[in-house]
Amino acid sequence: MRIIECKQRSEEWVKARCGIPTASSFDKIVTSKGEPSKQRNGYLYQLAAERLSGTHEESYTSAAMEQGIEREEQARWIYAMYREIVVDEGKFCLSDDGQYGCSPDGLVGSDGLVELKCPIGKTQVEYLLAGVLPTAYFQQVQGQLLITGCQWCDFVSYYPSLPRFEVRIEPDHAFLQKLRTALDEFCSELDAITHCIEQKL
């Protein structure tokens, strides 16, 4: 793993992840079963455009998402206080070959990660009732474990005045093998597409 010191959503962070697949979008490459995602080609072409233009394509941010971003710092503080640990933030982590990366919401010692979500109230209730990692974040969490080599990730969901939801996730080695293969193929194709377009410039 290679680490770049940069705060999430900072100019340095945007630059570091421009044109490379990141764990928060691994669901656009593979499904939770390790099969090709229907969004794969669109994501492939998006990253090729970013590489060629040097400009990161902004994604839509709803009011609820903005509110969640604002609450993230509080969620991190509550998690650290409850666990009585130090959470190291502000890292962008790259795979050893630098081909793909992730932005954990926190590193915990040498073995752990924390991924924080601050959803709307009804979603928090849904998470509390289900009691498991939401499927929507499976690829992201497993991707972070793959890139960092950590042994676990605490998925934490927080909404003020409702109980906090937390579940510890360990590597799913069968899925990670499929993910690694899919990422290698995706990155090779991304390199080929970028090179092909460069020849036309």
pLDDT, position 164: 96
Q: Both tokens of residue 17? A: 């992840």
Q: Both tokens of residue 100? A: 């793909």
Interacting residues of 21 by C-beta distance below 8 A, sequence separation 6+: 29, 43, 47, 99, 100, 101, 183, 186, 187, 190
Pick the CATH number of 2-198 from 1.10.3720.10, 3.30.930.10, 3.30.870.10, 3.90.320.10: 3.90.320.10
pLDDT, position 61: 64
Is the pLDDT assigned to residue 82 strictly greater than 70?
yes
% of the chain surpassing 90 pLDDT:
87
Q: Both tokens of residue 60? A: 């839509």
pLDDT, position 66: 76
Q: Which range in 61-65, 160-164, 197-201 is most confidently predicted, on average pLDDT? A: 160-164
pLDDT, position 59: 66
Q: Give mean pLDDT, residues 9-26.
A: 94
Is the pLDDT assigned to residue 26 strictly greater than 80?
yes
Task: Evaluate whether 115 touches 137 at the Cβ level (below 8 Å).
Answer: yes
Is the pLDDT assigned to residue 58 strictly greater than 90?
no
Map out the domains of the chain as residue ranges. Answer: 2-198
Average pLDDT along the chain: 94
pLDDT, position 69: 75
Instruction: Give the sheet arrangement for strand 165-169, strand by strand.
Output: 106-108, 112-117, 152-157, 165-169
pLDDT grade for 63, boundaries at 50, 70 and 90? low
